[in-house]
Amino acid sequence: MNEKYIPLHTYPGAWMFTEESLPIAAEDLASIKPLDPAYSKTMWSRLVTP
């Protein structure tokens, strides 16, 4: 996996994508790629809070 992303199963907020009351298709789950925390922080500081 690209170093900018982490596997979904290691993402602390992954529960929201596997919640039974809000089903997401398996093929869609495979497309969800959370950002690596360090890269996320960099993008936030560059794009959101310049």
Q: Model's pTM, two decimal places?
A: 0.70
Domain contains 15: yes
Rounded CA-CA distance 8/5 in Å is 9
pLDDT digits (tens, 9 = 90+) for 21-30: 989 999 999 9
- The Cα 33–Cα 9 span in angstroms is 10
Tell me how many domains the chain contains.
Answer: 1
What is the per-residue pLDDT for 48? Answer: 93
Alpha helices, DSSP H, located in 1-50: 15-18, 26-29, 37-43
Contact 35, 1 (CB under 8 A): no
- The mean of the pLDDT values for the chain is 92
> Does residue 1 belong to any structural domain of this protein?
no
Res 1 pLDDT > 70: no
The whole-number pLDDT of residue 3 equals 86
Sign of CA dihedral 24, 17, 9, 32: positive
For residue 2, tell me if it sits in a domain: no
- Residue span of the structural domain in which 37 resides: 8-48
